Amino acid sequence: MKRVILFFSFLIIAALNTVTYSQYGLSDAIVTGTAEGRSVTFTDPYTNNSRETFAGLMNGTIDGNTTKFYCVDLRRTISFPDNCHKDSAVADSRIVYILNNYYPYNPNPVGELSNLDREVAATQIAIWHFADGVNANTVTHNETRDRALAIIADANANGMITNIVTTLSIEPSVNPDDFIIKTLDQNGDPIAINNIQLTISEGSLSVNTVNTTLPSGESQDVTVIGTGTGTITATAMAVMPQGVTYACPGKQRLVIAAPAIGEREAIADWGALPVELISFSSVINSRDITLNWSTASELNNSGFEIDRKIQPQKPGRESVT
């Protein structure tokens, strides 16, 4: 009778250490007044009545840095100056697409109107279409209506999966006890940022402040000391990309139309296993082996790998793994 000896190798393919990741904004916006744009008449989707209102950009600052905003909330009003807006979320992907490809971030978009105020008004109507359900066909000015419809069609065709760039992130390093900070601009290109503050909820870190440098936009390695798990927080004055929304209780919600520097925060869970294995068994039938396993949870896991090979054996014995 042949004796079968089995050895199994079980490999989880997953990212090291940084299992869950979130990016938050801590910035404050001050809106000071209207900029490019003009009055437009259209049907208000919330009342079904004709409405005439300013459609265009607003001037303002984020943490003291100059930028511009569009409106993404027709139901509420805003007064100038207004200083209670804080970043809250990310706009619809098609709005982000419009902001990436039309005025003011792109000062010369394809098909632009010769009148800048009309161009900006049409862009705002397109944004209201996705934010508030405005029917651009109800715009009474023909040129503005046609341009808004063209922008909407472009966003529907090309902007369904457009996301803002993660401009501040916590990334695993080569050493499983280390991580790095990475900083990018609104286009996803590396930038250098100084004085990034680091904390961890358990244990300690080898350093509490790092800088990112070019050409990689990455910091030195930071080592986690004295703990297997914890929450790492990185805070910095980083790029706030177009598409981040700003909210103020009872007032219009706005969306940043041009990137600016503002306070950002990145948070990552450290040390949690990506896969929680609760059972693993095998059934042997001659030279066939059936493996069964189940998991309680999986996070950032790209797959499982099983290895099988022939082991060296003594004469008269057979070994299979």
Indicate whether 299 pLDDT > 90.
Answer: no
CA nearest to 76, candidates 292, 307, 295, 250:
250
Instruction: With beta carbons less than 8 A apart as the criterion, state whether 78 and 70 touch.
Output: no
Q: Which residues contact 157 (CB under 8 A, 6 or more apart)?
A: none
Residue range 86-120, pLDDT digits in tens:
887 899 999 999 999 999 999 999 999 999 999 99
Q: Is the pLDDT of residue 31 over 60?
A: yes
Looking at per-residue confidence, does 267 or 315 come out higher? Answer: 267
Give the pLDDT mean for 134-144.
Answer: 98
The pLDDT of residue 321: 41
Q: How many CB atoms lie within 10 A of CB 59?
A: 17
- The CA distance from 315 to 181, in Å, is 56
Contact present, 136 and 121 (Cβ < 8 Å):
no
Rounded-to-integer distance, Cα 296 and Cα 213, Å: 40
For residue range 273-296, list pLDDT tens digits in order. Answer: 556 666 666 666 666 777 777 776
| pLDDT tens per residue, range 151-184 | 999 999 999 999 899 999 999 999 888 999 999 9
Share of the chain above pLDDT 70, in %: 79
- Under DSSP, the state recorded for 213 is B
Give the model's pLDDT for residue 58.
97
Better pLDDT: 4 or 49 = 49
Q: How far is CA 94 from CA 39, 131, 135, 143, in A?
A: 24, 10, 16, 22
Question: For residue 157, which of 94, 91, 110 has the smallest C-alpha distance?
Answer: 94
Question: What are the pLDDT digits (tens) for 241-258?
Answer: 999 999 988 889 999 999
The predicted pLDDT at position 134 comes to 98
Q: CA-CA distances (angstroms) from residue 252 to 31, 78, 83, 255? A: 11, 6, 12, 10
Mean pLDDT of 10-31: 59
Q: According to the model, what pLDDT value does residue 274 have?
A: 57
Q: Where does the pLDDT of residue 271 fall: very low under 50, low under 70, confident under 90, or very high at 90 and above? A: confident
| Domains (range + CATH), the chain | 1-16+274-321 (no CATH), 28-158 (no CATH), 165-240+260-270 (2.60.40)
The per-residue pLDDT for 94 is 98
Q: Which residues contact 310 (CB under 8 A, 6 or more apart)?
A: 319, 320, 321
CA pair distance 144, 123, nearest whole angstrom: 9
Binning pLDDT at 50, 70 and 90, where does residue 24 land? low
Task: Single out the residue of 265, 243, 258 nearest to residue 162, CA to CA.
Answer: 243
DSSP assignment of 286-314, as one string? TTEEEEEEEEEEESSEEEEEEE--BPP--
User: What pLDDT is recorded for position 65?
Assistant: 96
51-76: pLDDT as tens digits:
999 999 999 999 999 999 999 999 99
How much of the chain, in percent, has pLDDT values that exceed 90? 65
**HEC string of 42-97?**
EECCCCCCEEEEEEEEEEEEECCEEEEEEECCCCCCCCCCEEEEEEEEECCHHHHH
The rounded mean pLDDT for the chain is: 85
| Residue 58 contacts residue 105 (beta carbons within 8 Å) | no
Q: What is the pLDDT of residues 214-225, one digit of tens each?
A: 999 999 999 999
Average pLDDT of span 300-318: 55
Give the whole-angstrom CA distance, residue 311 versus residue 314. Answer: 10
Q: Give the per-residue pLDDT at 250.
A: 86
User: Could you tell me the pLDDT band of residue 237, with boundaries at 50, 70 and 90?
Assistant: very high
Average pLDDT value for residue range 112-132: 98
Q: How far apart are CA 66 and CA 237, in angstroms?
A: 14
- pTM (predicted TM-score): 0.78
From the number of C-beta atoms within 10 Å of its C-beta (0-12, 13-18, 19+), residue 231 rates as: middle
Q: Give dist(CA 218, CA 223) in Å, integer.
A: 15
